[in-house]
Amino acid sequence: MVRKISSAAAVALVAAAAFFICGPGGWSEDLGTRIDGGAQAVESKVIAWRRDIHEHPELSNREFRTSELVAKHLQGLGLEVQTKVAHTGVVGVLKGGKPGPVIALRADMDALPVEERVELPFKSKVRSTYEGQDVGVMHACGHDTHVAILMGAAEVLAGMREDIPGTIKFIFQPAEEGAPKGEKGGAGVMIEEGVLQNPAVEAIFGLHITQAWEVGHAAYRPMGMMASAERFDVKLQGKQTHGAQPWMGVDPIVVGAQIVMALQTIVSRQIDVTAAPAIITVGSMHGGVRNNIVPDSVSMSGTVRTFDPDMKKEIHERMERTITRIAESAGATAELEISDGVPVTFNDPALTEQMGRTLDSVFGGDNVQTAPMVTGAEDFSFYQEKVPGFFFFLGGRPQGVPKEQAIPNHSPLFAVDESALTGGVRAMSRLAVDYMQSKAEK
């Protein structure tokens, strides 16, 4: 005969089994359960950190206040702490009480030159200078939540260090959005300065919050998940003249307008878009000082997003040809510069299959989805070129808000539901421990 028991009785039986397996014999209790409890315990701290960082955002390579806050917290937890990595980065090392692998958890710290339009008690009112322009500064991409989540995970994991089978590096990285022009920064410089060495990291994990998914949900994709990203700059040289006599000069504004439109036909008409997505966007265009003067020069900058190396090369060639020949046809000259950029965010297939099960256990299998290819980019990809990495999206859209009303990252209206933060702490902590335990069991 099969006897049914209540859910409460089932919980009691599981608890009793855990007592005999993990209790008086000296074995540690289940780390996953302890992580879940620890994440709840630090929730109010994580929200407070997030609000503080949000109210005091800092641009790339200028994250001085944020890095000081992080370093003090990690030092207070008894971690080995290194500061001023890649200018303002912070690395904390937690050595577990049991032997095991070295893994890394990463959060990015920088804000964007965006003036906030969300009315919050902790709204950013910060202004700064970006590439010579006076700008508002805002955590319009959620990096404030990433920092707070990783600070919370560090506290949770430090509280069980004696039972952790391995070593965890907490990487708080500056300049994910890209260093100011003429400077170096971000993940590439962190790697150059040895963040993945001494001790050597064998796997790395990261997340990004987004309104693309509701709170309580997560999403990821094996292999190519986010695009490579490159900045391009164009300098157009014309010939200044009176606005009433344009034939006496060469108008670089008109040339620039023709180039902007022609660049769009590269993706729409000249490459096979069924092979992989691609985007060319001109994000800024500057020239002239007065309404009735044709200026001498115009500068433009933008971004190229691709998923395929061969397609990227082809796009570069077509951009060079398009820009220079349009300029020549008008009697102007053009110089194109394309940065090395950021590689494709590539989730290691084997690691992704393994750690996807961890996200299922944290959020519930029905709440974890396969993400589409995303044309946004992440310099987490630099770490993934060196060691296997797993990157996932954390849902931050308030429940009940339709997906079509989701606010995109980088918008001055971007906001997140703070109830998502505890799930982020649980996920990052569980990814670390589950990976280390899987290695220790072999």
For residue 269, the 8-state DSSP code is: I
Would residue 19 count as lying in a domain? no
Mean pLDDT of 48-72: 98
Rounded Cα distance, 327 and 347, in Å: 41
Q: Which SS3 state, helix, strand or coil, does residue 12 take?
A: helix
Mean pLDDT of 304-311: 94
Rounded Cα distance, 381 and 386, in Å: 9
Say whether the peptide bond before residue 199 is cis (omega within 30 degrees of 0).
Answer: yes
Residue 234 CB neighbours (<10 A): 25
Note the pLDDT of residue 204: 98
Q: What are phi and psi of 87, to 5 degrees?
A: 85, -70
For residues 96-111, one letter each, b for 16 or more C-beta atoms within 10 angstroms of the residue's C-beta and e for the rest, the string is beeebbbbbbbbbbbb
Residues 294 and 168 in one domain: no
**Segments forming the whole domain that contains residue 314:** 228-338
pLDDT band at 306 (very low <50, low <70, confident <90, very high): very high
Would residue 13 count as lying in a domain? no
What is the Cα Rg of the chain in Å?
25
Residues 308 and 238 in one domain: yes
234 Cβ partners below 8 Å, 6+ apart? Answer: 256, 259, 299, 300, 301, 323, 334, 335, 336, 337
Would residue 402 count as lying in a domain? yes
**13: Cα within 13 Å, side-chain hemisphere:** 6
Residues 220 and 236 in one domain: no
- Residue where one domain finishes, among candidates 338, 373, 396: 338
- Residue where one domain finishes, among candidates 309, 338, 367: 338
Tally of domains in the chain: 2
For residue range 85-140, what is the model confidence (pLDDT) as tens digits?
999 999 999 999 999 999 999 999 999 999 999 999 999 999 999 989 999 999 99
Residues 188 and 326 in one domain: no
Residues 269 and 327 in one domain: yes
Q: Name the helix (H) or strand (E) containing 76.
A: helix 64-76
Q: Which SS3 state, helix, strand or coil, does residue 227 take?
A: coil
Q: What are the distances in angstroms from CA 260 to CA 11, 33, 142, 326, 341?
A: 63, 55, 30, 11, 21
Give the CATH number, domain containing residue 207: 3.40.630.10
Paired sense of beta strands 203-214 and 218-220, if any:
unpaired
Residues 419 and 330 in one domain: no
Mean pLDDT of 431-435: 98
Residue 14: pLDDT over 80: no
Mean pLDDT of 396-420: 97
Give the CATH number, domain containing residue 280: 3.30.70.360
pTM, rounded to two decimals: 0.86
Would residue 372 count as lying in a domain? yes
Mean pLDDT of 43-71: 98
Paired sense of beta strands 389-397 and 203-214, if any:
parallel
Token pair belonging to 193? 């300065």
For residue range 369-396, what is the model confidence (pLDDT) as tens digits?
999 999 999 999 999 999 999 999 999 9
Residues 171 and 130 in one domain: yes
Rounded Cα distance, 374 and 277, in Å: 9
Note the pLDDT of residue 181: 83
Residue 9: pLDDT over 90: no
For residue range 170-220, what is the model confidence (pLDDT) as tens digits?
999 999 999 998 899 999 999 999 999 999 999 999 999 999 999 999 999
Alpha-carbon dihedral 323, 325, 331, 332, rounded to 10 degrees: 20
Would residue 361 count as lying in a domain? yes
pLDDT band at 358 (very low <50, low <70, confident <90, very high): very high
For residue range 257-272, what is the model confidence (pLDDT) as tens digits?
999 999 999 999 999 9
For residue range 63-97, what is the model confidence (pLDDT) as tens digits?
999 999 999 999 999 999 999 999 999 999 999 99
Residues 235 and 222 in one domain: no
Handedness of CA 8, 10, 13, 19 (dihedral sign): negative
Residue 310: pLDDT over 50: yes
Residues 268 and 302 in one domain: yes
Specify whether the CB–CB gap between 104 and 185 falls below 8 A.
Answer: no
Would residue 433 count as lying in a domain? yes
Residues 158 and 248 in one domain: no
Q: What's the one-letter identity of residue 409?
A: N
Q: What are the distances in angstroms from CA 112 to CA 81, 100, 177, 262, 410?
A: 26, 38, 8, 29, 8
Would residue 327 count as lying in a domain? yes
Paired sense of beta strands 133-136 and 127-130, if any:
antiparallel
Note the pLDDT of residue 340: 86
Of 22-26, 41-45, 354-358, where does mean pLDDT reach its minimum?
22-26
Q: What are the distances in angstroms from CA 282 to CA 169, 230, 334, 335?
A: 38, 12, 15, 15
For residue 135, the 8-state DSSP code is: E
Residues 214 and 250 in one domain: no
Residues 217 and 236 in one domain: no
Would residue 59 count as lying in a domain? yes
Q: What's the one-letter identity of residue 295?
A: P
- Residue where one domain finishes, among candidates 338, 362, 385: 338
Relative orientation angle of helices 31-41 and 420-440, to the nearest 10 degrees: 160
For residue 405, the 8-state DSSP code is: G
